[in-house]
Amino acid sequence: MTRTDGHLLDDLDHEDHGRPPSDEHLDQRDQPTELLGHLSPRESREQLQPDPRQEELARRRADAAQWRDAFAALYDPVTFRHFEAFGVGPGWRCWEAGAGGTTVVSWLAKRVGPTGKVIATATDTSWADSPARPPVELRVHDIAVQDPPGEGFDLVHARLVLGRVPDRERALRALVKALRPGGRLLVEDTDAALQPLICPDEYGPEQQLANRLRHAVRTVLADHGVDLAHGRTLPRLLRAAGLRQVEADAGFPVTSRACAGLESATVRQLRSRLVATGLVTDHDIDRHLSHISSGEMDLAAPALISAWGRKA
């Protein structure tokens, strides 16, 4: 199964460490004390020892949550601006393809109201911290291999999806197929090759180190099949898919707290793979994270290209 929930960084982290152990595979020391009956003093002491696996899992979850929050803070306003220009409102039927968090889904749900519908799909829905309630329907779905979860949608949105699936033409056809005549498709993706630097103003050794790490990040992503120049191709792809009135825009934040949060979460999640490239060392990463925490670095986020069009 190909992860298409907009967060490749989570995927790579899971590849590094293996999937977290499920409850049915944990040994007794992973179970609550009250479920184990009478324990000897030695067993009780062992029970109280921290479980490195659980600590690592908690760390990875925290890094992934920070990445999602920072990305949403940076790019949700762009996405919502387009939704507002489309006139999303009561009664609209929307498909959020490859959903990677709650912010976009919640915004759409409020706009479409009880007479509308928002279907949110992803290969991994673990980010949902509570059951979906109308008008939202949450489904496990892989756009890389499965048909759309319905047709006749007024709006289909996919962010950080197409650049991460092997058969992009098939996935794009699925997005277009799901639209009603006149329905809108909004596809958004970053273009790391268009804006390759984390520090556009490279005036000192800290900024030079940051850009060297950014080069290593691009290398890791490219090695795992991410098209670093995919964003710029979106207008052409949407026209080739038969959409009309195709337009696009692009932009990137130059510095903010969210930029710093996105960078630190990215580096922590990819740490072992960055070192494996041979382009940076653990010491380089520690120095870079320290520079970020100082609050004095002007860190830019990747360029986000948004492209949209109507179905004939």
Q: What is the C-alpha end-to-end distance of the chain, expressed in Å? A: 32
Q: Does residue 247 sit in helix, strand or coil? A: strand
- When the pLDDT of each residue in the chain is averaged and rounded to a whole number, the result is 86
pLDDT at residue 66 above 50?
A: yes
Question: Which has more confidence, 63 or 28?
Answer: 63
pLDDT at 127 over 50: yes
Please determine, for residue 213, whether its predicted confidence score (pLDDT) is greater than 60: yes
Top-ranked range on mean pLDDT: pick from 29-33, 142-146, 284-288: 284-288
Q: What is the pLDDT of residue 85?
A: 98
Predicted pLDDT at 166: 86
Give the rounded percent of residues in the chain with a pLDDT score beyond 90: 73
Q: For residue 5, report the phi and psi dihedrals to the nearest 5 degrees.
A: -100, 15
- HEC string of 298-310 equals CCCCCEEEEEEEE
Cα-Cα-Cα-Cα torsion 241, 161, 222, 295, nearest 10 degrees, comes to: 130
What Cα–Cα distance (Å) separates residue 44 from each residue in 39, 52, 75? 6, 17, 48
Evaluate whether 186 touches 162 at the Cβ level (below 8 Å).
Answer: no
For residue 152, is pLDDT > 60?
yes
Please state the rounded mean pLDDT for residues 60-64: 91
Mean pLDDT across 184-204: 95
What pLDDT sits at residue 162? 92
What helix, strand, coil percent values describe the chain, rounded to 5? 45, 15, 35
Residue 41 has pLDDT above 70, yes or no: no
Q: What is the mean pLDDT of residues 270-287?
A: 97
| Nearest Cα to Cα of residue 29 among 39, 19, 20 | 39
Indicate whether 243 pLDDT > 80. yes
Mean pLDDT computed over 152-171: 93
